Amino acid sequence: MNSAQTDRFVHDRLPSAGQWPELLFDLPELRALHARPQLNLVEELLDKAADKSWAKRPLLRSPQRTLSYAEVKVQVDRMAQVLIEDLHLVPGNRVLLRGGNSIGMALAWLAVVKAGLVAVATMPLLRAKELGEIIATAQPSVALCDAKLLDELVLAQQQHPVLHTLVPFNQPNESNEPGSLEARAAQKDGHFAACPTASSDIALMAFTSGTTGKPKAAVHTHLDVLAACETWPRHMLQATPDDLVMGSPPLAFTFGLGGLLIFPMWAGACIYFPDIGYTPQAMAQLIHDTGATICYTAPTFYRQMAPFMEEETAKRGHAAKLRLCVSAGEGLPDATRQLWKSATGLEMVDGIGATEMFHIFISASPSQVRRGAIGTVVPGYQAKVVDEAGVEVPRGTVGRLAVKGPTGCRYMGDERQKNYVKDGWNYPGDAFTQDADGYYFYQSRADDMIITAGYNVGAPEVEDALLKHPAVAECGVIGQSDVERGMIVKAFCVLKPGFAGDAAMVKTLQDFVKASIAPYKYPRVVEFLDKLPRTETGKLQRFRLKN
């Protein structure tokens, strides 16, 4: 099938064929998808909902309104008409999206992709400088922006005139704002056929969240996204049309895009978007109020939410309807897993994925959890732990994780492609061990492994030990250069209220770690902070702790 994307900007900047990962389609469902030369993922997930008897089922829900699959289709089609008929975009054009998690943001994203355009979603907290870097890379001519977030985008536009049109959505008074996306869409008849995109056409550019510096633009096709639905969601998550999904990861982050839009639609489920940003207490209350059954968030958020879940259950006299709690985005300390289990009775679904791979490729269902492990490789993927030469190491040995499957890394116009993909394998940059049963145990980011006096120490293991102390709310561990030992373990701790960050606490924490894991792993330096540096998606930015 020939590409429908007449604008070849992204296609022409993909890595050369020799730098691509090997893509695998080993499952029957994946082979069936791969055999289809034409695919539009929104057509598959939304237009065909009626064929599955989901048309009248709720899809998008907020405190103000609920839209069924059929109603979402009408809104998406009208917005797609605006993009093609009024803004004169052609397939392959990039459209920048700026907004928090909302019905408006979800509709806009679906409209962009259904129209054969390339969605470039951006985090709501980005400032003009950061937005400018994305505009300079992606070269979008149109942006769809939440009305509350226009200011920084206007500043970025002034420096990057290639972005010539800003269309607001989520206007507080749609009827009085004739230029808004919703008002323009209301003038359309809703008759829009999905762009006949090839399966290899580009659906989205996802900018990495910047835990190690300058973000990279990872490209995913319509086939990539639909293939991802046939792996972890089908075999591990197993959501149903009766599920109500909620969570905190931004839709601009592939963890959030998959968990809070794509995967629920694939299963016929409903997604709840609140009016305001989540706090741990507010999410605990909403889980009970809404009857949510699946929750997505990061380990730190689960840890902060645990006492509020207990409080809500005690106050209401019954547990929430929650049945699946997905943790990803950063390493899940066992201390957090056990705290959550104690508060809710639920075993978390842990997983590791990557923006470059679209979503989770190692995980375990609640019945398959092994303490301390993330899980096993997700059906559809292959993984191994290798040395620097790419040779698989013996089980139990620390090495670099290598992965391949139906999705893989393709950076747009970035020399760092050759560091991520080698001999067809994707290298997400994580250090792991694997046991005899195939369970993978996260050690650290590969460049965060601490080598002290000849010993390998994984920062997450030390963090997990520290988090078990009742005084520690959050912590981050790094290696610090040292003349005698090469590196020493240094911990940054945020203490809970009522605890003092003094010399006595330093010794207390050091002794506590020595008593729980090998003594050579204890933090020789402990520094107390009010908060840790994190990305908008909740990932700890260890590189900032090292500066």
User: What does the angle CA 349 – CA 352 – CA 355 come to, to the nearest 5 degrees?
Assistant: 130
pLDDT at 173: 60
239 in helix, strand or coil? coil
Q: Residues 36-93: pLDDT tens digits?
A: 999 999 999 999 999 999 999 999 999 999 999 999 999 999 999 999 999 999 999 9
**β-pair type (472-482, 324-327):** unpaired
- The sign of the torsion formed by the CA atoms of 235, 241, 245, 251 equals positive
220 in helix, strand or coil? strand
Question: Any idea where the domains of the chain sit in the sequence?
Answer: 11-230, 256-446, 449-546
pLDDT at 404: 97
The residues with which 478 forms a beta bridge, in sequence order, are 490
CATH code of the domain made up of 11-230? 3.40.50.12780
Residues of the chain with pLDDT under 70: 1, 172-177, 209-214, 446-449, 453-456, 536-537
Backbone angles phi, psi at 477, to 5 degrees: -125, 135
Kindly tell me the number of DSSP H helices and DSSP E strands found in the chain. 18, 26
Check residue 22 and report its DSSP letter.
P
HSE-CB for 197 with a 13 A CA cutoff: 30
pLDDT at 456: 67
Check residue 485 and report its DSSP letter.
T
Rounded to 10 deg, the angle between the 299-316 and 334-344 helix axes is 10
pLDDT at 421: 95
- For residue 136, the tally of other CB atoms under 10 A from its CB is 13
The residue type found at 396 is G
404 in helix, strand or coil? strand
72 in helix, strand or coil? helix
Choose among 330, 332, 353: nearest CA to 341. 332
Residue with tokens 């997604």: 271
pLDDT at 175: 47
| Alpha carbon distance 295, 292 (integer Å) | 7
Residue with tokens 């610090």: 480
Domains 11-230 and 256-446 belong to one CATH topology:
yes
Residue 194 corresponds to which tokens in the numbers above?
């999905």
Which residues have a Cβ under 8 Å from the Cβ of 268 and sit 6 or more positions away? 49, 52, 54, 57, 69, 240, 241
Residue 246 corresponds to which tokens in the numbers above?
């909620």
Instruction: Check if CATH label 3.40.50.10490 holds for domain 256-446.
Output: no
Q: Residues 335-394: pLDDT tens digits?
A: 889 999 999 999 999 999 999 999 999 999 888 999 889 999 999 999 999 999 999 999
What CATH class does 449-546 carry? alpha beta
Helix (H), strand (E) at residue 150: helix 150-159
Check residue 182 and report its DSSP letter.
H
For residues 116 and 201, the answer to whether their CB atoms sit within 8 Å is yes
Residue 54 corresponds to which tokens in the numbers above?
């989901």
Helix (H), strand (E) at residue 385: strand 382-386
Backbone angles phi, psi at 234, to 5 degrees: -70, -45
Residue 120 corresponds to which tokens in the numbers above?
């470039």
Residues in the chain: 547
- In whole angstroms, how far apart are CA 470 and each of 66, 385, 517? 42, 34, 17
